[in-house]
Amino acid sequence: MALTFYWYPNCGTCKKAKKWLDDHQIEYTPIHIVNNPPAKEDLLDFMSKSEMPPKKFFNTSGKKYRELNIKEKITDADTQEMAEILASDGMLIKRPIVTDGEKVTVGFKEETFNDTWLQS
């Protein structure tokens, strides 16, 4: 089964992840995360499957994150509210997000990709 690869083509981390997928000849469907951000429901699904805290889905080093003072907004936010904020702007989402419908990875660490996507 092909992976879904949410990415931003200008993102260096996304380029590394794409190269890793290509080098390992893993099929994927690329989705531009800014032009087509995942819906709130998809993000909630990713959050539950990734076993990561919802705050880890935010691109904390991004300009938009700082400009919109998201850190303050999510201090007391619940998972639903965080997913809503993330779905409103793809630039707020940590990327890339890779999923096969069962497993989810956020960001790119070669070790994590090896453990998660070479086992499939």
Mean pLDDT of 38-65: 96
Cis peptide before 96 (omega within 30 of 0): yes
pLDDT of residue 50 exceeding 70, the answer is: yes
Q: Which residues form the domain of 104?
A: 3-117
The enclosing domain of 80 has a CATH number of 3.40.30.10
What pTM value is reported for the model? 0.94
Residues 41, 39: Cα–Cα separation, whole Å: 5
pLDDT band at 70 (very low <50, low <70, confident <90, very high): very high
CA distance 17 to 108: 6
Is residue 13 classed exposed, middle or buried when 0-12, 13-18 and 19+ CB atoms within 10 A define those classes?
A: middle
Q: What is the pLDDT of residues 76-109, one digit of tens each?
A: 999 999 999 999 999 999 999 999 999 999 999 9
pLDDT-based confidence at 51, cuts 50/70/90? confident
